[in-house]
Structure 1
Amino acid sequence: MELKDIQNLIKFVARSGANEVKLEMEDIKITIKTGEGKTETTILQHAAPLSMATAPIAQAPVEVAAPAAPAAPAPAAADEDSKYLTITSPMIGTFYRKPSPDKPLFVEVGDTVQGDSVVCVIEAMKLFNEIESEVSGKIVKILVEDSTPVEFGQPLFLVDPS
């Protein structure tokens, strides 16, 4: 878990109104306590054996170099998509395009949505949150695959307002 993920989790918990959240994963334990204008975070991370600790450091330059290659076509795609409005994720969680496996999709490319249309569900901490469009128009692109994790502010849909 990266520092950015922990910061987003803290922001999410602070906005949710929860008093305390505990998250335990195989190598990390996080407790976030909120209340009356203060947020307290405790992070306990087990130290990895020395041989495991050096492996990610050796791989770090490879990971940094890999995203740089596809950066060239990105500006052209950004120019095409700039005329569209973006529906973004208001929270961290798992993105679902339908309310349950046996139900139809909320929206598909070409569907028209209104400002209060439910476009997806994001599951966070076993709670399923319906996400509304907040903009009116036609769905032109779905940017996230079903059942994948999303971050706060991550673009989910592109909407043509015309």
Structure 2
Amino acid sequence: MDPRDLKRILDALIAADVREFGLKTGEYELNVKRGPDGAPVVYGVPAPVQAPVSAPVSAPVAAPVPTPVSVPTANAEASAVPAAAASGTPVKAPIVGTFYAASSPEMPPFVKVGDRVEVGQVLCIIEAMKLMNEIESETAGTVKQILVKNAEPVEYGQTLFVIE
């Protein structure tokens, strides 16, 4: 796993106050559990490799013991986002990923505060697992708030926009 990907995962987990997280692929297994001081403790264990069926039976091999690694938490004030307003319809993230306000860095954002939106209009893109997912408005109205900055990680259920 690329260290930058691991940092992005950890930052997203910290921002969403996730206490425990697990990820398993064919190459590795990652388990993150927050310690008592709030800092995540990461346990990385290589995925077990199956021995060939024709291999002779030998003495059992002990599984690797995960080694905890403390990771400093992000500055909570730096990543603070204003809370959603009481009035209006929140547009929530349907998936975990990275929020993008435009289709590319050179393009203008899909919507800005004060823009009128219609049902089905693309509001943003959330990148998850290298897939770009267009997030469409489920209600017509005016964009009152945009609660996420471009290229920030977002959590499932996090409010992205408020439409009134």
TM-score (norm 1): 0.57
Distance 1:24 1:140 in 2: 42
1:46–1:155 Cα change, 3 Å: same
Q: Is the 8 A contact 2:93 2:155 kept in 1?
A: yes
RMSD over aligned Cα atoms: 3.9
- Change over 3 Å in CA distance of 1:84–1:46 after alignment to 2: same
AA in 1 matched with 2:141: G
Quote the offset at 1:27 in angstroms. 5.2
Cα separation, partners in 2 of 1:21 and 1:145, compared to 1, 3 Å? farther
How big is the shift at 1:23?
6.9
Q: Conserved in 1, the CA contact under 8 Å of 2:100 and 2:125?
A: yes
Structure of greater Rg:
2
Q: SS where residue 134 of structure 1 aligns?
A: coil
Q: Does 1:107 align with 2:88?
A: no
Percent identical among aligned pairs is 38
Q: Name stretches of at least 5 consecutive residues in structure 1 with no aligned partner.
A: 11-19, 32-43
Aligned partner of 1:47 among 64, 67, 70: 67
Supply the distance in 1 between the matched residues of 2:88 and 2:138 (Cα, whole angstroms).
Answer: 14
Deviation at residue 153 of structure 1 after TM alignment: 0.3
Distance 1:159 1:125, change over 3 A: same
Give 1:45 shift: 8.3
Distance in 1 of aligned mates of 2:28 and 2:108: 32
Q: 1:17-74 deviations in whole A, cap 9, x for unaligned?
A: xxx787766853698xxxxxxxxxxxx98313xxx66x98xx9xxx9xx89xx9xxx9
Summarize the Cα distance change of 1:84–1:27 in structure 2 as closer, same or farther, 3 Å threshold: same
Aligned residues: 118
Q: Which residue of 2 aligns with 1:87?
A: 91
Structure with the largest fraction of helix: 1
| Aligned-partner Cα distance in 2 for 1:45–1:151 | 30
What is the match of residue 136 of structure 1? 140
Q: 1:150 to 1:143 in 2, by over 3 A?
A: same
| Distance in 2 (alpha carbons) for counterparts of 1:45 and 1:129 | 38
- Classify 1:27/1:88 alpha carbon distance in 2 versus 1 (closer, same or farther; 3 Å): same
Is 1:28 equivalent to 2:48 in the alignment?
A: no
